Structure 1
Amino acid sequence: MTMVTGYTKKLAILPFDHRASYISGLFDWKEPLNVEQVLKVAESKQIIYEGFKKARIPKEEAGILVDEQYGVGILRDARQQGTITAVSVEKSGQKEFDFAYGDDFAQHIEAMQPTFAKVLVRYNPEGDRTLNQRQIQRLKRLSDYLHQTQRLFLFELLVPAEVHQLELVDQNKDAYDSQLRPRLMGEAIEELQQAGVKPDVWKIEGLDKRTDCEHIVEVAHHNGDHNVGFIVLGRGANQKRVLHWLQTAASVPGFIGFAVGRTSFWNAIVDFEAKRLSPDDAATLIARNFEEWNSSFEAGRQSGMEPNETSAARSHADKITRKENRG
């Protein structure tokens, strides 16, 4: 029997499932944390969740991505509210994908009952073949389980540069992103799908060209997975860059939304922890950023053209530029 995969509805996701990088970057701590530190991390994530709830985005489109470790209460509350939820399944801060809870991954997914189970995977098709095969075996196991239990699969694909690839572009990471990464992303998606790894939604790094966005969708849909959706991640980039990625992707059929995390919440949480912002003010700032991404994506989506051809997208980008200049 052919497995039907895919998700085609609009998705506006606020991701705050960061763990190792969150703890080290915001608090300068390392795991394992003591009880007081765990509560402090959970408190900060609660503020991000409050920001999500403040954002004026239609409920049927808006979702959160958070980890069970520090966000279990948030996941339970969101589920009770009927909010779209995604829970991270991978170990944090690892170069090689593995399950956060080992062979017990299924029990943890069932306990959280998320809309999506999410993995973050670093996969370069020109990288270590043995490593890639180990990752594929684990991912196929997860993919099979999720489809057998009729749960949705959200796959965050990162394609970090190999040494020899950076040499081709004189160590210029921006050149790698624009010249090499789009092709490698397509090859990675094709390899994973052919190995039986079948996400319903791909969460991918932003692409600068509309033609690259079209190519990625074409690759993913080639094997009959015509309903598979794509969302754009923020990668901690500045607002202007994130807006460009969102508007470029939004007009391409197959791109259904975004998941922008650090650019949404990082500065607000830093200022809250430094007591420069109250919890409510921090949440309001996060909500405003989240709404900004949604407005930008909608402007690009409704235009059906590239960002520089649309007055709506152009005026929106100009507004952000003015705001950045003031700030």
Structure 2
Amino acid sequence: MNLGYHQALYVLPFDHRQSYVTDMFHFKPPLDATQRDQVIDSKQLIYEGFRQALTEGVPFDAAGILVDEQFGAAILRDARQRGCVTALSVERSGTDEFEFEYGADFASHIEAFDPTFAKVLVRYNPEGDPALNLRQLGRLKQLSEYCQSSQHKFMFELLVPATDDQLARAGGDKGTFDRQARPLLMQQALHVLQDAGIEPDVWKVEGLDLHADGERMVQIARRGGRDQVGCIVLGRGADEAKVRAWLTVAAGVTGFIGFAVGRTSFWDAVSGYRAQTLTRAEAASQIAGRLREWVGVFEAGRLSHRPGTA
């Protein structure tokens, strides 16, 4: 299997589960049938917004969805039937340590939906708990090897949470940690993960404020013959201004092929629909508009960095 994915990739992620259920719906798991249906319907609403965006100019070949099996099985099947790029989350939600959602049976669940990407979210700090990191590396290598043997692309969402010591060195300020420490830790994490035999086709990474940090991320992602590996930037639930800034930085770096912006795209729309301040059509249109906005920002940023442009 050829490693990498280098075409444009504009993802609407709505695979949120534990935090989505508790923060959006204020439900306490386990859910009853009525509660489950409400969550499923809200994800269908987000998908309706995605499909509307495709009719309004978001390029079909570049657009994709990331959703979970628990609440989005019907969406995954429909999107695949339509020929959309799909990504299926395989990690257990609501845990700090990466574990498979379906344990040793993870492969059969991927095969059942045959997504473009098997996606994993991992919290990995190279200066964190060594035993925790080692356990995660073992599971991640298992997934990486499965993806390579099964012809499924592998999307790796890397989050680097600050340790207590790192946050203290940043004066207790997460913004300072993000600017001064996180970029280097992200780079170190990529090195460690690659050296452990973990080979994503796409790295889904937290936003960077400096062009040079983005370039360094791509250099590491593509080192050692990994020339076709792509990077996309995630939104991390940030406000519109921050998302725009991260998209603009990423768009200017060759090797960043797109983005995955979720909560900033759909949260207000779903909240408004649940509060009955938005109709379903209005909520879907708002989601579609957000996705169009992110595509516009990214493509404008990419265009402005082409040779010969102002």
TM-score scaled to structure 2, two decimals?
0.97
2:262 counterpart of 1:236: no
1:146: which partner in 2?
A: 147
2:267: which partner in 1?
A: 266
2:161: which partner in 1?
A: 160
Kindly provide the CA deviation profile for residues 269-309 of structure 1, in whole angstroms up to 9, marking residues without a partner as x.
0010011111111000000001000000000001117xxxx
CA RMSD of aligned residues (A): 1.0
Matching residue's letter, 2:46: I
CA distance in structure 1 between the aligned counterparts of 2:274 and 2:243, rounded to whole angstroms: 25
2:116: which partner in 1?
A: 115
Write the mapping of 1:144-293 to structure 2, written as runs, cut at 5 A: 144-293=145-294
Matching residue's letter, 1:24: T
CA distance in structure 1 between the aligned counterparts of 2:17 and 2:245, rounded to whole angstroms: 27
CA distance in structure 1 between the aligned counterparts of 2:88 and 2:59, rounded to whole angstroms: 21
CA distance in structure 2 between the aligned counterparts of 1:142 and 1:50, rounded to whole angstroms: 31
For the 8 Å contact 1:202–1:231, the answer to whether it is kept is yes
Matching residue's letter, 2:207: G
For the 8 Å contact 1:4–1:225, the answer to whether it is kept is no
Overall identity of the aligned pairs, in %: 56
Residue 209 of structure 1: CA displacement?
0.3
For the 8 Å contact 1:45–1:71, the answer to whether it is kept is yes
1:96: which partner in 2?
A: 97
2:295: which partner in 1?
A: 294
- 3-state SS, counterpart of residue 258 of structure 1: strand
CA distance in structure 2 between the aligned counterparts of 1:141 and 1:210, rounded to whole angstroms: 33
Residue 264 of structure 1: CA displacement?
0.1
1:5: which partner in 2?
A: 3
CA distance in structure 2 between the aligned counterparts of 1:154 and 1:58, rounded to whole angstroms: 20
Residue 32 of structure 1: CA displacement?
1.1
CA distance in structure 1 between the aligned counterparts of 2:243 and 2:59, rounded to whole angstroms: 21
Kindly provide the CA deviation profile for residues 156-199 of structure 1, in whole angstroms up to 9, marking residues without a partner as x.
00000001101111101101000000000000011000000000
CA distance in structure 1 between the aligned counterparts of 2:279 and 2:221, rounded to whole angstroms: 44
2:23 counterpart of 1:22: no
For the 8 Å contact 2:14–2:66, the answer to whether it is kept is yes
CA distance in structure 1 between the aligned counterparts of 2:189 and 2:227, rounded to whole angstroms: 18
- 3-state SS, counterpart of residue 154 of structure 1: strand
Aligned length: 305
- Per mean C-alpha deviation after superposition, the further-off stretch among 296-305 and 153-162 is 296-305
Q: Which runs of 5+ in 2 are unaligned?
A: none
- Deviation beyond 3 Å, 4+ runs, structure 1: none
Residue 220 of structure 1: CA displacement?
1.5
2:35: which partner in 1?
A: 37
2:46: which partner in 1?
A: 48
Residue 31 of structure 1: CA displacement?
1.6
CA distance in structure 2 between the aligned counterparts of 1:129 and 1:30, rounded to whole angstroms: 33
Matching residue's letter, 1:41: V
CA distance in structure 2 between the aligned counterparts of 1:284 and 1:58, rounded to whole angstroms: 17
For the 8 Å contact 1:5–1:200, the answer to whether it is kept is yes
CA distance in structure 1 between the aligned counterparts of 2:170 and 2:101, rounded to whole angstroms: 35
For the 8 Å contact 1:20–1:30, the answer to whether it is kept is no
Kindly provide the CA deviation profile for residues 29-76 of structure 1, in whole angstroms up to 9, marking residues without a partner as x.
122101111100000000000000011311100000000000000001
For the 8 Å contact 1:17–1:88, the answer to whether it is kept is yes
Kindly provide the CA deviation profile for residues 211-238 of structure 1, in whole angstroms up to 9, marking residues without a partner as x.
0000111112122211110000000000
CA distance in structure 1 between the aligned counterparts of 2:130 and 2:224, rounded to whole angstroms: 23
1:304: which partner in 2?
A: 305
CA distance in structure 2 between the aligned counterparts of 1:114 and 1:219, rounded to whole angstroms: 26
TM-score scaled to structure 1, two decimals?
0.92
Matching residue's letter, 1:292: E
Q: Which runs of 5+ in 1 are unaligned?
A: 312-327
Kindly provide the CA deviation profile for residues 63-98 of structure 1, in whole angstroms up to 9, marking residues without a partner as x.
000000000000010011000000000000110000
Matching residue's letter, 1:246: L
- 3-state SS, counterpart of residue 135 of structure 1: helix
For the 8 Å contact 2:155–2:200, the answer to whether it is kept is yes
